[in-house]
Amino acid sequence: MNNFLKIIKEICNELNIKYTFLSKDWVIMLEYKNKTRFLSGYKFDLNKHALGLILDDKYAMYDVLNYKNIPVIKHDIVYQDSNNNLYAKDCKGLEYAQKLFSKYQENIVLKINNGTCGRDIYHVKDLNDLTSKYNKLMMKHSAISICPFYDIINEYRAILVNGQIKLLYKKINPRVVGDSKKTIKELLQEFNPEYFKDYNENNKNIILKQGEVFEYDWKFNLSRGSLSSLDILESDKIEIINIINKINEFLDLKFVSVDIIKTVENKFYVMEINSGVMMENFINQHENGEKIAKEIYKEAILEMFK
C-alpha cells in the first residue's frame, strides 16, 4: 500500500483535507468542511454498503448480473457439509462439488467466495485433486465457489468513477515461447524483469525448444507476474464498453474496478467487480502510472465530499 498511502497524503494536502491514519493504517479518516468520510483498505466511502458486499461475494455478484442477462462467468457456491441452514440444503459438501466437476466436463476452477489477488484459486482437472483442494479450502472457509474453466486470451480491467471508465488496461499473463537458446529464467526476465529478477524455481535453467511454450501462471494477476498494457484492440474496447453500459443501467457503481475476460471463442464475460480499487502494480509498471492513479483517486475523494 506504499504508493496508495503516499498518493492519498498528497491529495489531501493539495485539497486541504485533514487525514488521520487509524487501525494500523488500514483506516484513513478524512475531514473536510464539517464532513467526515473514510477509506478502508482500498475501499472508498462511495459505494452503497449492501452493493459493496454483493460485489465482494463472487456467487452473489454472478447471480445479480446473470439475473439481468449480463454476460458473466458462471459461479456455483458450495457450503461446508456441516452447514445445516436451509439455503445450503442442496449445495453443500464434497459430493455436490463432484457433481459440478462432472457437469463442467471435469475442468473447473475452485476459489474462495470472497478472495482477491489470485489467492486460493485452483484449476482442477482430476478427481483426486478436486478432493485435495476442496478439503484444503474448506479447512479455512465456510464456502467456496466453483466455476467452469474458461480458456482466456486476455483479461481487461476497467476502473470506474460514477459509472464512467477512467482507466482501461489489459493484463498479459507470463507465457513465454522458447527459441532453443534462452533458459526459462531468461525468457521470464525478458517478459517482466522486475518480478522475475530473483526467479529460482527448479526449472530456471531449462532451455525451451523453438516454439515450445511455458506458462508460468494461468491466472492474469499483476501481483503474480502478469503485465498491464494500454494497447487494446478497438473492437475489444467496444465489447467492454457495451458490457459496462449494461451494468450501469441497473447498478449504481460509484467507484469500482470491473474485470472482464475475452475467451478463445471471442466471447466476453464479467469475471468480477471489485469494490476496492487497487492500482499498486499498475503504478509500478507504467512511467506515468502514479499520475494516472492520483487523478483517479483525487476524483473519487472529491466525489465523497459532494
Residue 117's pLDDT is 57
Shortest CA distance to 13 belongs to which of 280, 294, 286?
Answer: 294
Same domain, 263 and 302: yes
Same domain, 250 and 200: no
Q: Is residue 8 part of a domain?
A: no
Same domain, 143 and 292: no
* 197 DSSP 8-state letter: T
Amino acid at 121: I
Q: Is residue 164 part of a domain?
A: yes
Residues 6+ apart with CB under 8 A from 82: none
CA-based torsion, 227, 231, 237, 239: positive or negative = negative
What is the rounded distance in angstroms from the CA atom of residue 67 to the CA atom of residue 209? 48
- Residue 108 in 3-state DSSP? strand
Cβ atoms of 246 and 252 within 8 Å: the answer is no
Same domain, 161 and 200: no
Q: Is residue 179 part of a domain?
A: yes
Residue 1's pLDDT is 63
Same domain, 136 and 163: no
Task: Output the DSSP codes for 110-133.
Answer: EEETT--TTTTEEEE-SHHHHHHH
Q: Is residue 42 part of a domain?
A: no
**Ranges in the chain, pLDDT < 50:** none
pTM for the model stands at 0.91
Residue 114's pLDDT is 79
**CA 169 vs CA 113, 217, 244, 285: distances in Å:** 25, 19, 14, 12
Q: Is residue 133 part of a domain?
A: yes
Amino acid at 56: D
Q: How many domains does the chain have?
A: 3
Whichever domain contains 242, its CATH number is 3.30.470.20
Residue 98's pLDDT is 97
- Residue 229 in 3-state DSSP? strand
Q: Is residue 24 part of a domain?
A: no
* Helix or strand (DSSP H, E) at 158: strand 152-161
Same domain, 160 and 305: yes
Residue 221's pLDDT is 87
Residue 115's pLDDT is 60
Cβ atoms of 206 and 185 within 8 Å: the answer is no
Same domain, 82 and 67: no
Same domain, 245 and 158: yes
Q: Is residue 297 part of a domain?
A: yes
Residue 85's pLDDT is 96
Same domain, 304 and 276: yes
What is the rounded distance in angstroms from the CA atom of residue 306 to the CA atom of residue 291? 23
Whichever domain contains 94, its CATH number is 3.30.1490.20
Same domain, 137 and 222: no
Shortest CA distance to 119 belongs to which of 228, 41, 198, 219?
Answer: 219
Same domain, 157 and 243: yes
Query: Which residue range forms the structural domain that includes residue 180?
Result: 175-216
Partnered with residue 213 across adjacent β-strands are: 177
Residues 6+ apart with CB under 8 A from 109: 121, 122, 123, 124, 146, 147, 148, 149
The label of the residue with cell 515461447 reads: 177
Same domain, 245 and 283: yes
What is the rounded distance in angstroms from the CA atom of residue 257 to the CA atom of residue 42? 11
Q: Is residue 226 part of a domain?
A: yes
What is the rounded distance in angstroms from the CA atom of residue 203 to the CA atom of residue 185? 8
CA angle 268, 54, 219 (to 5 degrees): 45
